[in-house]
Structure 1
Amino acid sequence: MTPVTSRRRPLRHRFSALIAATLALLTAATVAAAGAGAAPVPGPARTVPSGGYEELWVPSAMGNVKVQVQWAARGGNASLYLLDGLRALPDRNAWSFDTNAMDQFRHDNITLVMPVGGESSFYTDWYYPSNFNQQQVTYKWETFLTRELPDFLARYGVERSNTGIAGVSMGGTAAMTLAAHHRDQFKFAGSYSGYLNTTAPGMREAIRIAMLDAGRYNVDAMWGPPWNPAWLRNDPFVVAPQLQGMSLYVSAGTGFPGIYDHPGAPIEYWNTAMGMGLELLSMTSSRAFQIRLATLGIPATFSFPPSGIHSWPYWSGELWQSRAQILHTLNAW
C-alpha cells in the first residue's frame, strides 16, 4: 500500500509566508497613504527674500545658462523677460547695469528675468554652430526661453502663463517673434528699437554684416540661406497676425541725437554716428510694423519720440514709459 503523504507544509514555510504577506500589506498601505495624503515637494529655496536679487544657473541644451533675477516684491507669480542686444556679454545682461530696470520694478510684484549671453543669436534656435568663429555649441535660445527656463522658474513659483517679454535691438525683434509663436506663455511683448521687418529689402544683408561684426557669426548657421522659410518665421512683420489680442509696446527714435548724446572724443563721435544709422533703420522697420498692425486691426502702444539714437539711456526711458502697461497686463502691481 502506498503511504498517505501529508499535505501540511512545514511550520517554517507557513511562518515565512505569513511574514511575506504581512510585509506586502504594509508596503501597499504605505504607498496608498503616500499617494493620498503626502505634502507636495517644495521647490528650491531662494537665497534672498522677495524683492531681492539672485543669479541662477539654469540647465539647457546649450549647457548651464546664467540668469539674473530680481524676485517679485511680494512673492507674486508674474515675470518679465528682458532680452539683450546684438553684442550681449557672456557674464551679465546689459539691462542689469546699463539701465535702472531693477530700480524701476524693485517695489512691484513682478520678477525680472535677465538671461545672460546670446551674442548675435536673435534668441532663436540655430541649425548648427557658426563655422566662421568656431562656435562650440549650437544656439537653442527659443527652446531655452520657452521651455527650459519657464520650467525651471516654475519651481520657484513663477507662472509660465503670466509672463511678458521685451528687448532692445536684436532682443526687440526676438521678443515680438517669440511672443507670436508662444501665446500660451506671453501676455505682453515690447520692442525698444527692434528690427521688426527682417525680410524687407536689404535687411537680410544688413543682418549678415552686423552679425559678422559682432563676433564673426555666420547667419547661414542661424536661419539658413536667404530663401529659407526660417527667415519668414522669425520676421515679426510676417507673423504679426499671431499677435492679435496681445498687449504690445513698440518704440524707436528718429536717429537724431537727443538729450543723452554729448560726444567729445573721436570714438564718441563714431559711436554716435553708428547709433544714428542703426536707430534710423529701426525706426523705419518699426513704422512699417505699425502700418502692418493697423491693417490687421491689432492695437498697440507706439512711442516715436522726435530724437534719440540706438543707445541704452533711451531704452531705459522707454521701459519706464511701458512699465504701467506691463504691470497692468500681468496684474503685478
Structure 2
Amino acid sequence: MRNGLAKKAVAAAVTVAAIPALTIAGTGAANAWGPGSAKNPPKGFKQAFVNGAGMPNVKVRTWASTTTNPKTAPTVVFLDGLRATWDVSGWERDANVAFLSQKGINVVMPVGGTSSWFTDWQAPSSTNRQPYRYTWASFLKTSLPQYIKSLGFSDNVSLVGLSMSGSAAIINTLDSNGYYKRAASLSGLNNISAPGIPIAVGIASLDSGGYNAGLDMWGGPFDSRWAKNDPTVQVNRLKNVPLWISAGNGVFGKYTPNPGPADVIQGVPLEWLALSQSRAFQGAAQRAGLNKVHYDFPPAGTHTWGYWQDQVWQMQRTGWFSK
C-alpha cells in the first residue's frame, strides 16, 4: 500500500512539474521538406484534400515507395504533435521520415489538428469560437483509409504518434476495425486519465490555439471518456496489437549538445512525464500478459524531434513496419 501511494505521489509531482512545459510541446526547428523540394516534388509525391468526416477537408501529403511496389509496401501514417500547423506536418518540417519512401515504405501525413488529440470531440471548442467540432477519430477510421486505398497503397498500415498523438495512435488503432495493424507511441501520454493529466491537457490546449480540451473534448476530468481513451486503462483490449512504446529520460543527448533555457523548461519535464506514463503502461501491459510490445527507453533523450525521428528509423531497420 505504501509503495502504491508513493508511486502515485511521484507521478503527481511529475505531472505538476510538467504542466508549464506541456504548454509549449510539439515545437521544433525546421530542417527538412522531404525528398525533393517544394518546387521539384519527388516521384510518387501527392497532396490532396480529403473528406474531413464532419470537419473541413483535411490536407494529406503522401510519398509512395520508390524502391518497391506501393501496392505491397508497408504504409505508415504519421500523426503530429500539440502545435500541429496547417501547412505541413511537423514530421515533414522537423524530421526526415518522408525519406522512408526511398526505403520501400509508403508515407502518409495528415496535416493539421492543433490541440485536437486526434479524437472526436463532443462539441466545438467553446473558448476560441471553433466553427466546427473536431472529428479526427472518424477521419482516421473512415476517410483516410478510403483515400489510402484510392492511392493503391497496401493495407499493411501502421499508425505512429508522438507526444499529443502517442496515445491517440494506440486508441485509433484499437477502434479502426483492424485497418491499422500496429501502433507506435513516442513520448506519449499513455495513461491520459491519470490524476492531474486531464487538467494538464486542458491547460496545454488552451495555450496552443485556445482550445478547450479540458471540457469540450471528452467532458470534465472525471468523465468516463478519458478512461475510454487511455491505453493503460484499455490495456486488455490490446493483446493482439503490435505496439512500439518509447520515451527518453530527460537527459540531454546528441540533439541538445548546448541546451538552452527552452530545452530545460520544455524538453526535460515533458520527457519525464512521458517516461512516467509509458512506464505505467508497461506495468499494466505486463500484468495483462501483452507480448507484442516493443519498449525502448534510451539512456538519453528529451522532448525533441530528433529522438522521435531516430525511433522511426529504428523501426524501419528492425522491420517492425512489416511484422
Provide the TM-score with structure 1 as the length reference: 0.79
Of 79, 96, 100, 1:100 maps to: 96
**Aligned equivalent of 2:287:** 295
Alpha carbons 1:93, 1:117 under 8 Å: kept = yes
Larger radius of gyration: 1
CA distance in 1, matches of 2:256, 2:261: 9
Of 67, 76, 81, 1:80 maps to: 76
Cα distance per residue 1:257-300 (max 9 Å; x no partner): 11211346xxx412432110100000000011111111111121
**Aligned equivalent of 2:141:** 146
- Verify: 1:191 aligned to 2:223, yes or no: no
- Any residues of structure 2 matched to 1:1-333 within 5 Å, and which? 52-60=44-52, 61-73=54-66, 74-77=68-71, 78-103=74-99, 105-160=100-155, 162-219=156-213, 220-263=215-258, 268-299=260-291, 300-323=293-316, 324-329=318-323
Report how many residues are paired. Answer: 277
Alpha carbons 1:71, 1:110 under 8 Å: kept = yes
CA 1:325 to 1:287, structure 2 compared with 1: closer, same or farther past 3 Å? farther
CA drift of 1:150 comes to 0.7
Q: SS of the counterpart of 2:101?
A: coil
One-letter code of the match for 1:100?
Answer: N
Alpha carbons 2:250, 2:272 under 8 Å: kept = yes
One-letter code of the match for 2:210?
Answer: R
Q: Where in structure 1 are there 5+ consecutive unaligned residues?
A: 1-47
CA 1:298 to 1:183, structure 2 compared with 1: closer, same or farther past 3 Å? farther
CA distance in 2, matches of 1:145, 1:326: 21
Q: Say what the alpha-carbon RMSD is for the aligned residues.
A: 1.8
Q: Percent identity?
A: 37
CA distance in 2, matches of 1:259, 1:101: 18
CA 1:326 to 1:56, structure 2 compared with 1: closer, same or farther past 3 Å? farther
CA drift of 1:303 comes to 0.5
Higher deviation after alignment, 221-230 or 318-327: 318-327
CA drift of 1:247 comes to 1.5
CA distance in 1, matches of 2:140, 2:175: 12
CA distance in 2, matches of 1:137, 1:218: 13
CA drift of 1:201 comes to 1.4
Higher relative contact order (CA 8 A, sep 6+): 2
CA distance in 2, matches of 1:177, 1:311: 23
Runs (4+) of structure 1 exceeding 3 A deviation are 48-51
Q: Where in structure 2 are there 5+ consecutive unaligned residues?
A: 1-39
Alpha carbons 2:50, 2:59 under 8 Å: kept = yes
Alpha carbons 1:275, 1:309 under 8 Å: kept = yes
CA distance in 1, matches of 2:253, 2:65: 33
